Amino acid sequence: MALVGPLRFDQARQCVIDTVRAAGVSVPRERVALGAAAGRVLGEDIEADRDYPPVARSIRDGFAVRAGDAPGRLRVIGEVRAGDVFSGRVGPGEAVEIMTGAPLPAGADAVIMVEHVGRNGEYITADRAAETGQFINPQGAEARRGERLLAAGERLGFAQIALLATVGRADLRVYRQPRVAIVATGDEIVEVFEEPLGHQIRNSNAHSLAVQVRRAGGVPEILPVARDVYSSARELVERGLQHDLLLLSGGVSAGKYDIVEQVLGDLGAEFFFNRVLIQPGQPLVFGRAAGTFFFGLPGNPASTMVTFELFGRAALELLEGQSDPALPFLQARLITDFRHKPGLTRFLPARLSPDGAELAPIPWRGSGDVPALARANAFLVADADRESWRAGDLIRVLLR
């Protein structure tokens, strides 16, 4: 298809999501132990193996009673703790001392908190009425046997791991993590351990992208730098296309020696767009070749970081089996006035306060200013159709 662009930010992101979904890529699944499942994408539905809770339980320390007996004077006939079962039955005028989490004794239909009674030997005096069901978690109130608790496509965090342990899943099926090739391009790039000349830079983009890929659930592989000659670029692009996703950093602008698009075209690539109305990151290429999706990310560090988070991450999450990739946007109040030239959606380095309420733009010298990026913990999002904000105004924030 012909190149489409320039696209607005929202159009380009939706293009990525729709295109990857429409490709119908079959994501392999594998079985892993529960201890290795954190951060993975679930590859099967999970159902409750029994009612939760399996029996009615007390949610307070107190006394299990018949609701109709309160207020009144009641005889304590026993005690039940979490992990025990009371073998008798609560009759009229009787109570059983009960601890949080303990099963409700037969005959009781309410729990009175220990703070609300007076005790004298084997008797307690309740001075207020009790309602049927108070301070009781009924059987099946949390989940019923056979109920679906987790759906395939959900990413597993600590709460989901706790749920899997609760229902007895010592192992489970997850989607395989995509293999992601990372190729930096350009004659000016040297390795991290090398001493660069004045006109050279170290290969920071490959390493920052590898971190972003891992955070998104992929398995990164940093390939050698592709030099600004056709044969080098072609060899490394072909290697990269053997992975599940290819990320190219640099070589996608209109410069004389930016040859990546030529290489991809010669390999039969289909291009979906080649420019997005954002800053940093306008010259962004998204396409597919040899059955593998690829992104041609701009070479400046901020551009590389931002475009991966906005677009590459969505593709990777879909290739990992995640059902609904989402961006972690929130709003915060600016601590200073801010303005920009409308027309582009801008993602600029900023510092979010510890409570997430306030945002301070960080001065920077453009998309190659790595020290400013390291000082930031978020990106300020300046909408394309608005020119200015005053201190105290809410503005969108993209978390990092």
Please write down the long-range contacts of 233-236, taking CB distance under 8 Å and 24 or more positions apart: 233/185, 233/259, 233/260, 233/263, 234/263, 234/266, 234/267, 236/183
51 closest CA partner among 141, 137, 148: 141
Rounded Cα gap, residues 274 and 284, in angstroms = 5
371 closest CA partner among 311, 315, 314, 301: 301
pLDDT average, residue stretch 4-9: 84
CB within 8 Å of 284: residues ≥ 6 apart: 12, 252, 273, 274, 275, 276, 278, 295, 296, 297, 298, 307, 311
pLDDT value of position 110 = 98
Asked if residue 256 has pLDDT above 60, the reply is no
Phi and psi at residue 125, to the nearest 5°: -120, 120
Q: What percentage of the chain has pLDDT greater than the value 90?
A: 84
pLDDT average, residue stretch 178-197: 91
Asked if residue 91 has pLDDT above 50, the reply is yes
Map out the domains of the chain as residue ranges.
9-28+176-319, 37-50+144-175, 57-137, 329-399
Instruction: For domain 9-28+176-319, give the CATH superfamily.
Output: MoaB/Mog-like domain (3.40.980.10)
Average pLDDT, the chain: 94
Q: How many CA atoms lie within 13 A of 347 on its CB side?
A: 26
pLDDT value of position 259 = 81
pLDDT value of position 1 = 44
- Whose structure tokens read 């290429």? 285
pLDDT value of position 196 = 87
Rounded Cα gap, residues 110 and 130, in angstroms = 7
Q: How many CB atoms lie within 10 A of CB 96?
A: 26
Give the tens place of pLDDT for each residue, 346-375.
999 999 999 999 999 999 998 889 999 999
Instruction: For domain 37-50+144-175, give the CATH superfamily.
Output: Molybdopterin biosynthesis moea protein, domain 2 (3.90.105.10)
pLDDT value of position 360 = 97
Give the tens place of pLDDT for each residue, 135-166.
999 999 999 999 999 999 999 999 999 999 99
Sheet holding 110-113, edge to edge: 110-113, 62-65, 94-98, 72-80, 123-126, 117-120
How far from 93 is each of 100, 111, 274, CA to CA, in Å? 22, 14, 79
The answer regarding whether domain 329-399 maps to CATH 2.40.340.10 reads yes
Asked if residue 336 has pLDDT above 80, the reply is yes
Q: pTM value?
A: 0.88
Band of the pLDDT at 253, cuts 50, 70, 90?
A: low
pLDDT average, residue stretch 89-103: 98
Rounded Cα gap, residues 258 and 262, in angstroms = 8
pLDDT value of position 5 = 67
Q: Are residues 296 and 240 in contact, defined by beta-carbon separation less than 8 angstroms?
A: no
Band of the pLDDT at 252, cuts 50, 70, 90?
A: low
Asked if residue 255 has pLDDT above 60, the reply is no
Rounded Cα gap, residues 13 and 23, in angstroms = 16
Backbone φ/ψ region at 41: left (φ over 0), alpha (ψ -120 to 50), beta:
beta
pLDDT value of position 4 = 63
pLDDT average, residue stretch 201-217: 94
Rounded Cα gap, residues 314 and 20, in angstroms = 9
Rg value, the chain, Cα: 30
Asked if residue 300 has pLDDT above 80, the reply is yes
Rounded Cα gap, residues 52 and 39, in angstroms = 25
As a CATH number, domain 57-137 is 2.170.190.11
Mean pLDDT lowest for which of 22-26, 40-44, 204-208? Answer: 22-26
Question: Taking the C-alpha atoms of 312, 313, 314 and 315 in order, what is their torsion angle to the nearest 10 degrees?
Answer: 50
Rounded Cα gap, residues 190 and 276, in angstroms = 29
Residue 247: alpha-carbon gap to chain centroid: 21
3 against 273, higher pLDDT: 273
pLDDT value of position 57 = 97
Rounded Cα gap, residues 207 and 221, in angstroms = 10
Overall residue count recorded for the chain in this entry:
400
pLDDT value of position 257 = 45
141 against 256, higher pLDDT: 141
Band of the pLDDT at 200, cuts 50, 70, 90?
A: confident
pLDDT value of position 194 = 86
